Chain A
Amino acid sequence: MTTLTPVLSARWHEDDSFTRAGYERADGYRGLRIALQRTPADLVTIIKDAGLRGRGGAGFPTGMKWSFVPKDSPKPTYLVVNADESEPGTCKDIPLMLASPHVLVEGTIISSYAIGAHTAFIYVRGEVLHVIRRLQAAVADAYEAGYLGKDILGSGYDLDIVVHAGAGAYICGEETALLDSLEGRRGQPRLRPPFPAVAGLYASPTVINNVETIASVPAIVANGEDWFRSMGSEKSPGFTLYSLSGHVTSPGQYEAPLGITLRELLDMAGGVRNGRELKFWTPGGSSTPLLTADHLDVPLDYEGVAEAGSMLGTKALQIFDDTTCVVRAVLRWVEFYKHESCGKCTPCREGFWWLVQILQRLEAGDGTEADLEKLLDLSDNIAGRSFCALADGGVAPITSSLQYFRDEYLAHFEHGRCPFDPAASTLFAETAGAATS
């Protein structure tokens, strides 16, 4: 049986976990002291050997990403931390930064040192005011303690960190759109190549990493790559935050080795609420194809979920029970992608607009079987035909729900309406039920 392995979340219960004093008491900034005694190249090797993979969704090996930065660029190198967490269902980076902003600051310093950056940015979504306060305070505190600024801890290494608040645009979680946004422009993705490692922010070499990825670096440096590899699987080593939400008895953050299964996690979280049946779930946010109760034993690592036809993504496990209408859920997600399409690529900008109309018709019970073919045809013409992955992610709920729940789409127009009662799927439905029984 897999058990939980709190590392990042181990001290979130302490009253002062977000302060420098609280963090230092837990051996905070020890990784930085070790790192500054090594060469930057050593650190890249450590992260490579540890096998850390990006926690923002794509799972790209972090050490390899770092090693793509040219060694002899005449331009400065930048580190950008992607703290724009906005993928529906994803809710791990926000609590991490709220409870433990210093682990992100420490990780940012070590990672910047490893890639030779002297300026780093934390691009945090704007809609999380208190998280921004905590980050601002942590950075200010780190300057005061000599962890930032000139000649950090007497090492001769200089680094500045800027906390930069976004302004409400899901697309800015896409790394090249984030860079445009950070340059003061509309957040629209860039065509690659060139990749950011060569020409990123201000056309300079830039590494963009997710919050959880960067926050995992201090523990790896302090405890060693073998320690990290003692958790998780061969190709997906280490610990990670799994976020359970929706129709589950105890939703929340569960930090476990990669490869744990949803069956194990649901067990820990008290199961589906009120003993109801699991109907469908997302392994890593709404852009990862839906899975069903048939996939309870899929190892939740990069390979395992890919084999099941989906993606590990951000490990945002949104759980929906049998009271939920899958058509309603998919329509709402597709409305989201329509709203958040940046408008740059025609298939995405126009395609989601049409998809929403077809899905609205279907949900209202006015659709036809031809509409289902149209949905698939449109999806096929959107995915892979746009600059960025928003298009691919946006059609994932459609194609996967049609794969597993085609009958439910049919039932809508056979009945001439949605066969589900939306009140039954609310959180307060159970309270109301309990009160009357």
Chain B
Amino acid sequence: MNATGGVSGEASERAQWSAERSEVARGASKEPSATSASSGEASERSQWLADRSEIAKGGRKEPAGARETALNETARAEMREIIARYPEPRSALLPMLHLVQAYEGYVTPAGIEMCAEELGLTEAEVAAVATFYTMYKRRPMGEYHVGVCTNTLCAIMGGDQIWSELTDELGIGHDETTDDGMVSLERVECNAACDFAPVMVVNWEFMDNQTPQTARELVGKLRSGEQVQSTRGPGICTWKQAARILAGFPDGRATEGPPAGAASLAGLVLAQEKGWTAPEGGRPALGAGGSHSQEDDR
């Protein structure tokens, strides 16, 4: 049931997304045409080509920013900063798409256009990449993106029950957002925290060892705007702030939160209790001495 729902859901989502794209393009053109969808797409295409040649000539009459977008010249400068990190520009595309989400909340047509311009790709090439990866969203997200792991281990340990209670509580399903724009829900795949099952993530921060009750309390707090603390990280930032970090612009909060969660330490704590250690190390002298003497040599 889930799978068939997922397939048709994905298909209709894609249709909606492309409809939005052509709508935006039509809205921005001078003469909104009342023609059929196919000729609308054709005029969108010619409009787009006209815009591009205009831009190429340096006489840009309509920069991406004109289409009600938060992507400004600072964003463009940051994209160029990302590109400079890589030996070849196109490698910057994934972080650039994260940056688009940091400004827009999701991957907008304007964002696709700006990435394409900066990398010398077509918009189709950028969109093809953006639609491949699940972290890039095709419609606005809530302030807090809540992921519930329903892969096998978490599902069996209680993730399925958490999922069903949360969807009841919030009245939304997979990839949907509450009317107040605060919380989006997603069934996520294994998030590499199986020893903390059942696991949830909020804006990609770990919320370990959840129960249906703690999960309901969590989304209640998120909706009321109360600050929520990750179980292995800092206070949860917003969806857009998180995307900025993914784009490679740190927020200076790396030192917050513990070094490790309790489960991560299970073996170490036992070893300490039992007095178990790895064998003594020590490479035979290489003239290396201790680290400090080396530092002095420098």
Contacts and interface: CB of A to CB of B under 8 A. Distances in A.
Interface of A: 3-7, 9-10, 12-19, 24, 27, 29-30, 33-34, 37-38, 76, 85-91, 93-95, 98-100, 119, 125-130, 132-134, 136-137, 140, 153-154, 162-170, 181-187, 202, 219, 221-224, 227, 230-231, 239, 242-247, 250-256, 268-269, 286, 316, 318, 320, 324, 328-329, 332-333, 335-336, 338-340, 342, 353, 356-357, 360, 422-423, 425-428
Given A6-B267, A9-B265, 14 more contacts: A5-B271, A34-B283, A129-B205, A129-B245, A130-B234, A162-B86, A164-B94, A167-B136, A184-B91, A250-B266, A318-B153, A332-B151, A340-B189, A427-B197
Contacts of A268: 267, 270
Interface stretch (B53-61, B64-72, B154-162, B216-224): B154-162
A153 B153 CA distance: 46
Nearest to B119: A184
A37 B288 contact: yes
Contact of A336 (B132, B152, B271, B286): B152
B281 A95 contact: no
Given A24-B291, A329-B156, A12 B264 contact: yes
Given A95-B261, A127-B201, A165-B98, A360 B3 contact: yes
Contact of B195 (A5, A91, A339): A91
Contacts of A93: 192
A127 B135 contact: yes
Contacts of A95: 260-261, 264
A303 B88 CA distance: 41
Given A91-B192, A98-B260, A246 B157 contact: yes
A423 B261 CA distance: 26
A224 B260 contact: no
A133 B194 contact: no
B259 A37 contact: no
B295 to A, nearest CB: 8
A90 B278 contact: no
B183 interface: no
A331 to B, nearest CB: 9
A278 B135 CA distance: 36
Contacts of A128: 191-192, 204, 206
Judged by DSSP, the binding face of A is: mixed
B32 interface: no
B154 to A, nearest CB: 9
B63 interface: no
B90 to A, nearest CB: 4
A427 B198 CA distance: 8
A186 B133 CA distance: 8
Interface of B: 1-3, 6, 85-88, 90-95, 97-98, 119, 128-129, 132-136, 147, 150-153, 155-158, 160-161, 188-198, 201, 203-206, 209, 211-212, 230, 232-234, 242, 245-248, 250-251, 253-255, 257-271, 274, 276-279, 281-284, 286-288, 290-291, 294, 298
Name which of B266, B276, B282 has the most chain A CB atoms within 10 A of its CB: B266
11 contacts: A13-B265, A33-B291, A94-B192, A127-B191, A130-B233, A165-B94, A166-B94, A167-B94, A184-B91, A332-B155, A342-B132
B193 A94 contact: yes
A224 B94 contact: no
Contacts of A357: 3
A89 B234 contact: no
Contacts of A425: 156-157
Contacts, number: 326
Contacts of B135: 126-127, 166-168
A199 B213 CA distance: 52
B125 to A, nearest CB: 9
Nearest to B214: A428
A76 B136 contact: no
B276 A4 contact: yes
Given A9-B268, A33-B294, A243 B276 contact: no
Contacts of B242: 129
Nearest to A342: B132
Nearest to B94: A167
B164 to A, nearest CB: 10
Contacts of B152: 88, 286, 318, 329, 332-333, 336
Contact of B194 (A24, A134, A316, A324): A316
A328 B156 contact: yes
Contacts of A219: 281
